[in-house]
Structure 1
Amino acid sequence: MSSREVAEIPTGPVPVPPAVQALACDDVVTPVWRNELGGLTFRLESPGGLTRYVKWVARGTPVLDLAAEAERLAWAARRVTVPRVLASGEDADGTWLVTASVPGRTAVDRRWSAEPATAAAAIGHGLRVLHERLPVGDCPYEWSVARRLRRVDQRIAAGEGPSSWFPEHRHLTVADARARLAEPPPVERLVVCHGDACAPNTLLHDDGTFAAHVDLGSLGLADRWADLAVAAWSLDWNFGPGYDHLVYSAYGVEPDVERLAYYRLLWDLA
Structure 2
Amino acid sequence: MNTIEQLLPRLPTGATWEPASEGESGDAVFRRSDGAAFAKVSLGAGAVSLDEERHRTEWLAPYGIGSARVLDWRVTTEGACLVTTALPGVPASDLQATELLRAWPSMAQRLRALHEIPSGECPFARPLSVMFDRAADVVARGAVNPEFLDPDQQDVPPPLLLERLHTDLPRRLAQEKQDLVVCHGDACLPNFLVDPQTLRCTGLIDVGRLGTADRYVDLSLLLGNARDSWRDAQDARTAHALLFTQLGIDAPDDGRLDFYLRLDPLTWG
Quickly name the TM-score band, shorter chain normalised: 0.7 to 0.9
Residue by residue, what CA displacement relative to the aligned partner does 1:140-183 show, whole Å, maximum 9, x if unpaired? 11111111122112211212458453314235443432223223
Q: Which runs of 5+ in 2 are unaligned?
A: none
Give the Cα separation in 2 of the matches to 1:248 and 1:25. 46
Q: State the aligned residue count.
A: 250
Give how far 1:224 is off: 0.3
Partner of 2:108: 124
Check the 8 A contact 1:195/1:219 in 2, yes or no.
yes
Q: Who is 1:6 aligned against?
A: none
For 1:57, the equivalent position in structure 2 comes to: 42
Given residue 212 of structure 2, which amino acid in structure 1 is its aligned partner? L
Counterpart selection for 1:142 from 111, 125, 134: 125
User: Post-superposition shift, 1:193?
Assistant: 0.3
On the 8 A contact 1:72/1:217 being kept in 2, the answer is yes
User: CA-atom RMSD, angstroms?
Assistant: 2.6
Q: Is the 8 A contact 2:108 2:243 kept in 1?
A: yes
> 1:92 and 1:113 mapped to 2: Cα distance?
45
Give the TM-score, by structure 2 length: 0.82
Q: Where do residues 1-270 of structure 1 align in structure 2 (5 Å cutoff)? A: 17-19=4-6, 21-24=8-11, 26=13, 27-46=15-34, 51-61=36-46, 65-79=49-63, 80-109=65-94, 115-132=99-116, 134-160=117-143, 163=146, 165-170=149-154, 172-182=156-166, 183-184=168-169, 185=172, 186-187=175-176, 188-205=178-195, 206-238=197-229, 242-243=235-236, 244-245=239-240, 246-253=242-249, 254-270=251-267
CA deviations on 1:221-260 (whole Å, 9 max, x unpaired) are 1010011000111112455663441433433334321001
Contact 2:66 2:203 in 1 (8 A): yes
The offset of 1:119, in angstroms, is 3.3
Identity of aligned residues (%): 28
For residues 97 and 38 of structure 2, what CA distance do their matches in structure 1 show? 22
| Contact residue 20 and residue 54 of structure 1 kept, 8 A | no
Do 1:69 and 1:217's aligned partners in 2 also have CA atoms closer than 8 Å? Answer: yes
The worse-fitting range, judged by mean Cα deviation, of 247-256 and 67-76 is 247-256
C-alpha distance in 2, partners of 1:22/1:68?
20
1:120 CA displacement: 2.8
For 1:90-115, what per-residue CA distance to the aligned partner results, in whole angstroms no more than 9, with x for missing partners?
234421110112233221235x6661
Change (3 A) 1:113 1:96: farther
CA contact (8 A) 1:85 1:99 kept: yes
- Partners of 2:146 and 2:40 in 1: CA distance: 29
**Which residue identity lines up with residue 266 of structure 1 in the other structure?**
L
Q: Distance in 2 between matches of 1:239 and 1:35?
A: 23
2:108 maps to a residue whose letter is: G
Greater fraction of residues in helix = 2
- Maintained 8 Å contact 1:203/1:211: yes
8 Å CA contact 1:123–1:199 kept in 2: the answer is no
Q: In 1, distance between residues paired with 2:11 and 2:133?
A: 38
CA distance in 1, matches of 2:190, 2:43: 21
Per-residue deviation, residues 49-108 of structure 1 (Å, max 9, x unmatched)? x6111111222239x712111111121122122101111112344211101122332212
